[in-house]
Structures are given as structure tokens and as C-alpha cells.
Amino acid sequence: MKLEGKRVTVTGGAGFLGSFVVERLRAKGAEVYVPLIEEYDLTRLEDLRRMYETGRPELVIHLAAKVGGIGANLVNQATFFYENLMMGVQLLHEGHLRKVEKVVAVATICAYPKFAKIPFREEDLWEGYPEETNAPYGLAKKMLLVQSQVYRQQYGFNSCVLFPVNLYGPRDNFHLESSHVIPAMIRKCVAARERGEETVTLWGDGTPTREFLYVEDAAEGIVAAAERYDSSDPVNLGNGVELSIRDLAAEIARATGFTGRFAWDASKPNGQPRRCLDVSRARERFGFVARTSFADGLRRTVEWYLAHRAEADR
């Protein structure tokens, strides 16, 4: 798909990942429409239809999600399930009815089984139940894949579904009640350093592992799939590098200048034991390879946070 001159609607385009996707699309000459959350409730069919009528898209990139870290997932499981499911199923169906050329939908690494084999391979997505704290969210997003596959089979509708690993980078959500692990740790370490505190308390025991993808790399992968991938086979987006939460905390301490110690609150959940992706399919199918090292990405993230604290801490 040649993006120059294409009418593209990006749900979630004003958000963390979406803002970078929109910038990359516009740089390629696409005409981008971003439905704002203040104007559209995409769980409501009438609002979704109005979005399609206003944007008149030839391509839809679906990034909108109700999402948060472990704490937010624990207290909002029904909300996360319902809102993500309703957004996705109606968006794809309306896209089919309106004969949109293509939909690129972004799912979540949380869709994988809790004890998936390492590295996570796309063919293992159905080998077990997701980790309990975020299973409702992960399963709601996983339905994007089911719908993409059956709509392609029955209607010939062109869509694809991507499964990015944990994202981080500038413009992330740093609110302690809803943020993911990297921005939460950055905020806690910066605050402790400034107050002269010697201890930062973190959830879990630090043993789980995660893989992290820099947000601009993720945006590049999504746009590459829009241009060059026409299949409903699921595709992982990541860099294939596994990092323990304890090692992550040490990296963030160095990047923020925090010289104290971490206290691990083992009464809090760890989440999924391990996460690390097989990223070969994205490379083979549409040429995506993550380019940003974790050290560089973390440095840019901390620099952005320090420069935008008044905004980020709200």
C-alpha cells in the first residue's frame, strides 16, 4: 500500500504510541484523521460510525485501548475487557461493511499464555490461558486476531494484527496509578533522588523478565505492516532482548541518578513470569527490525520526563 495521499484514520492517534504513528504517516504524505476521545466513545456504535463518516478512511490503524499496569488491570478487569472488546469488534465489522481497503490492529503481548515457551512464537498464542491479572484485557485484544482471520476467510477483508511487547519512551504515561513499569520506576527514582530518600519500594520480587520496545521503533513497525503486510497471521513486534525486573531497576537507577536501594514488596503480584519474543516473522514478512538500543531509549525517556515533569506528573 502506497501511503502518500491515502486517507488514514488512527484510533488512539493522540496517545503515546499513536502520536508517533501519526507523525510517521504524515511524513509519508498520508492524510491522517485522529478521532479524539473527547469527541468519540469508540465503544458506542453510533460514535464509531460517525468516525468512519468523518474520516472516510481507506486505511484504519486501530491503536485505541483501555490499558494500564498490573495495579490498573487488577481493579478494572471488567472495564478493560468490555471496552477493548467492543472497540475492536465493531471497528473491524464497520470497516468490512464500508469496504475499507485495510485495517491494521494492534493487540498486546498480554494475549500470550502465562507460561508460554521462551521465546514467544506466534504459533503458541493458543497454548494456554494468559496471566491472570491482565487476562481479560489480553483476551479482549486477542479477539482482534480471531475476527481478522475469519473476516478474511469469509469476506476477503484485508486486515492484520500485530502483537507488540511492552513499550516505553517519551510521551509515556507517568501516572503512578495507571502507568507501566518503566515510567513508574523512573518517576519513583527521580522523586526519591530529589527528596534524598535512600529506599524505593517496587512491586513483586524482581524476578520476572520483560522485553521492551522503544516507541518510535514500534511506530516504524506498524507503518511498515500497513505498507507491506497483507495477511491475518499474527506478528510479534519486539527486539528479542530479555531483561529481569531487578536488572531493569538497576538500569533506571543509573539513568536517573538514584543511588539508594530497592525494597521489593513480594506481597504484590509479579505478573507474567517471563516475556521474550521471537521477532523473526516481522523481519521476514515486512522487513521490520528494531533499531534503538535499550540504553539509548531509556536515556531519551528519562530526558523527556525531566523536561516535561509538570505535564507528565499530572
Q: Where are the domains of the chain?
A: 7-168+212-240+274-291
Contacts of 229 (CB under 8 A, 6+ apart): 160, 235, 285, 286
- Look up the CATH architecture of domain 7-168+212-240+274-291: 3-Layer(aba) Sandwich (3.40)
What is this structure's pTM? 0.96
Maximum Cα–Cα distance across the chain: 62
**Over its length of 314 residues, how does the chain's per-residue pLDDT go in tens digits?**
999 999 999 999 999 999 999 999 999 999 999 999 999 999 999 999 999 999 999 999 999 999 877 788 788 999 999 999 999 999 999 999 999 999 999 999 999 999 999 999 999 999 999 999 999 999 999 999 999 999 999 999 999 999 999 999 999 999 988 888 999 999 999 999 999 999 999 999 999 999 999 999 999 999 999 999 999 999 999 999 999 999 999 999 999 999 999 999 999 989 899 999 999 999 999 999 999 999 999 999 999 999 999 899 88
**Joined grid coordinates for residue 91:** 471497528
pLDDT of residue 179: 87
What pLDDT sits at residue 53? 98
For residues 229 and 30, what is the distance between their CA atoms, to the nearest angstrom? 18
pLDDT of residue 72: 81
Q: Residue 224: what residue type?
A: A
Annotated active-site residue in 33, 137, 168, 229: 137
Q: So what's the pLDDT on residue 4?
A: 98
137 belongs to the catalytic site: yes
